[in-house]
Amino acid sequence: MFGSSTEWTINAPGAGTATLAFRYANGTAANRPGDVAINGTVVAAARAFNATADWDTWATSTLTATLAAGDNKVRVAAANTGGNPNLDYLDVTTADVPATEYQAEAATLTQAMVATNHTGTGFVDYVNAAGGSIEWSVNVAEVGAHTLTFRYANGTAVNWPMDIAVNGATAAAGVAFPGTGNWDTWTDGRVTATLNAGVNTIRATGTTANGGPNVDRLSVSGSGGPDGQAPSVPGGLRVTGTSAAGISLAWTDSTDNVGVTGYRVYEASAVVATSPAAGATVSGLAANSTHTYTVTALDAAGNESARSAAVTATTGGSTAGPTADQLLAKVTSCGQISNGKYKTDSDVGTATVAVCDKSGAVFWKGDMDIDCDGVRTSQCNEDTDCCFLPDTFCHTTSDTPLNSAQLPYMVVPSPSSIWDYRTKGIGCGTVVAIVYNGQVEYTVM
């Protein structure tokens, strides 16, 4: 029933952000969206609670929200006539305190010196010799895994690796600190390590004749709150599509003791894409260019996993994709991979739409339905679309619904016994070509 709701009262030790994880089951084939409200204010309209195959299969929907100190009312109200999904429990985790920063120039230096010519108040410049080091003393509240973030610059074109030691023992050997373009360009290198409660020593030692890169500071996160554990490393990184200007990637979801909130895609040391789901498209690339990527997972406390295995792909040679005629010429026959077929709007007794396999792709031929869900705009709203919903299954990198007035996207059938798109490496950000009336539109899932 529309508007039916479940409400919890939770007590937050202090005001600030928290992770809300709803455990639910939805045995239907359709999304059962719910409006999530905190203390009477909707913070996530039509939050998606997608199908979970059956009522015995449970999933978790996670979002970040701001809580007041003390008691808070958290309510999920059904946003359509289907009612809410089955709800098992709500798990609430308050965020860690912000990362603590330790300046390199205040640390203990060996074969290294303080300089000021490339950043504000100073940084540390290693002597060009193996064995130079920077050693910090850091204080953390709890034992466990912490993220160590080194802000550095490397104006050369080669990697200047360092060994990272914790309390005298090497925690990560030969950590890569690749070139950053020039000595005025700073980026972050991250290592996950186990720290003891109380004072710990963190030492970064150059391992080659170049010494180490210029280092500005060390930041330690995961030290003050209940979550100091980084997510697992994303697995199965693969290329799901290429164009002249973009490369689409997918990978296997990571796990976390609290909940994974997103992913970073790296090319060398630079973050080139972020995604709330296990897939992303890196765009704005040059034609005929080759790129190598790795992926990390993040949680709400700011903990970041180690990097995944790398994958390499090359963009296409033309800025224009295949024409409608070229695409249609490749799908004249169907090698059916779905267990059954889907119905079009005109199908009454018999389903006629099969999902077919092609090398590196899938396709189907059906009728055209146009939805306008997502961000509410003058073009897309309840007046222009009778069934408008202010949310989409896939979100932007800032975890907001897609804007269908600006970014065309396609909706694929939810996973079911007929077909599960995830088995073909399809996910948020996958490139899709839609052919209609002799024209082609390239879009994303």
Q: Where are the beta strands (DSSP E) in 276-324?
A: 279-282, 290-299, 311-314
With respect to residue 215, please indicate whether it lies within any of the assigned structural domains: yes
Please indicate, yes or no, whether residues 184 and 206 belong to a single structural domain of this protein: yes
| Residue at which a domain ends, from 314, 341, 373 | 314
pLDDT of residue 350: 86
Residue 18: Cβ-neighbour burial (10 angstroms; 0-12, 13-18, 19+): buried
Torsion from C-alpha of 193, 223, 108, 204, nearest 10 degrees? 20
State the total domains in the chain. 3
Please indicate, yes or no, whether residues 88 and 176 belong to a single structural domain of this protein: no
The CATH number assigned to the domain holding 268 equals 2.60.40.10
| Residue at which a domain ends, from 172, 192, 221 | 221
Closest CA to 394 of 258, 248, 272, 293: 248
Give ∠ CA 201-151-236 in degrees, rounded to 5.
Answer: 95
Closest CA to 10 of 76, 96, 70: 70
With respect to residue 250, please indicate whether it lies within any of the assigned structural domains: yes
Give ∠ CA 367-247-417 in degrees, rounded to 5.
Answer: 45
Q: CA dist 315 to 290, 309, 324, 361, Å?
A: 7, 20, 20, 16
Please, are residues 104 and 45 in contact by the beta-carbon 8 Å criterion? no
Please indicate, yes or no, whether residues 89 and 109 belong to a single structural domain of this protein: no
Please indicate, yes or no, whether residues 207 and 104 belong to a single structural domain of this protein: yes
* Pairing mode, strands 247-252 and 279-282: antiparallel
Please indicate, yes or no, whether residues 159 and 180 belong to a single structural domain of this protein: yes
With respect to residue 205, please indicate whether it lies within any of the assigned structural domains: yes
pLDDT of residue 118: 63
Integer Cα distance of 394 and 405 in angstroms: 15
pLDDT in tens, the chain (445 residues): 666 888 888 877 666 777 788 888 888 888 888 888 998 888 888 888 888 878 888 887 877 788 876 788 899 998 888 888 888 888 877 654 456 788 888 889 899 998 877 655 689 999 888 999 999 988 776 777 788 889 999 989 999 999 999 999 999 999 999 998 888 888 888 888 888 877 889 999 999 999 999 999 998 876 444 455 778 889 999 988 888 788 888 898 888 876 788 899 998 878 888 888 888 888 888 888 899 999 998 877 677 888 899 999 988 876 556 777 888 888 888 988 889 888 887 777 788 888 888 887 888 888 777 777 878 877 788 777 777 788 888 887 777 887 777 777 777 888 888 888 888 888 887 888 888 877 877 777 6
With respect to residue 363, please indicate whether it lies within any of the assigned structural domains: no
Please indicate, yes or no, whether residues 180 and 282 belong to a single structural domain of this protein: no
Closest CA to 393 of 377, 368, 416, 412: 412
With respect to residue 104, please indicate whether it lies within any of the assigned structural domains: yes
| Residue at which a domain ends, from 42, 68, 94 | 94
Torsion from C-alpha of 249, 253, 259, 264, nearest 10 degrees? -20
Please indicate, yes or no, whether residues 281 and 202 belong to a single structural domain of this protein: no
Tokens of 2: 């529309």
Please indicate, yes or no, whether residues 127 and 203 belong to a single structural domain of this protein: yes
* Pairing mode, strands 16-25 and 59-67: antiparallel
Tokens of 9: 């009262």
Please indicate, yes or no, whether residues 85 and 114 belong to a single structural domain of this protein: no
pLDDT of residue 99: 64
Integer Cα distance of 30 and 85 in angstroms: 10
Amino acid at 134: I
Q: Which domain holds residue 292?
A: 235-314
Give ∠ CA 424-427-428 in degrees, rounded to 5.
Answer: 165
pTM: 0.36
Tally of CB atoms within 10 A around 325: 10
The DSSP secondary-structure symbol of 395 reads B
Closest CA to 259 of 390, 7, 90: 90
With respect to residue 87, please indicate whether it lies within any of the assigned structural domains: yes
Please indicate, yes or no, whether residues 105 and 211 belong to a single structural domain of this protein: yes
Tally of CB atoms within 10 A around 388: 17
pLDDT of residue 136: 92
Integer Cα distance of 50 and 27 in angstroms: 9
Integer Cα distance of 294 and 251 in angstroms: 10
The CATH number assigned to the domain holding 70 equals 2.60.120.260
423 backbone dihedrals φ, ψ, rounded to 5°:
-70, -15
Please indicate, yes or no, whether residues 90 and 107 belong to a single structural domain of this protein: no
With respect to residue 407, please indicate whether it lies within any of the assigned structural domains: no
With respect to residue 396, please indicate whether it lies within any of the assigned structural domains: no
Please indicate, yes or no, whether residues 183 and 258 belong to a single structural domain of this protein: no
